[in-house]
Amino acid sequence: MKYMQDWLADWVSRYRAEGIPLLGMDNAIPFLQFQDTFLYVLAGTYRDDLPTYAFDINDTPTIRPLHERFSDFVFKQWGTKG
């Protein structure tokens, strides 16, 4: 996870240097990375079941909300709810 956190921070820094602010990404906690996409939750949201987001690395980065709750994300991906 430390590797993903550092890699994501590098991309955010690159985009910010290009003038793209990427608000909220300082609190991002990535939990999965594949191809050019990081999946993450935001720390400090003060909820038991955090929303999940996707951060796509492109010429222009894209942030997409995936699920309102992390448990919904897990259930959809792996068919189980804890």
Give, for all 82 residues of the chain, the pLDDT tens digit: 888 899 999 999 999 999 999 888 988 999 999 989 999 998 876 778 899 999 999 888 999 999 999 989 888 888 755 5
Q: How far is CA 72 from the centre of its chain?
A: 15
pTM score over 0.75: yes
Backbone φ and ψ for 49, nearest 5 degrees, come out as -125, 90
The per-residue pLDDT for 80 is 58
Contacts of residues 24-31 at CB distance under 8 Å and 24 or more positions apart, as own/partner, are: 25/55, 28/53, 28/55, 29/5, 30/1, 30/4, 30/5, 30/55, 31/1, 31/4
Q: Where do runs of H (alpha helix) occur along 18-59?
A: none
C-alpha distances in angstroms, 53 versus 15, 17, 28?
Answer: 18, 22, 9
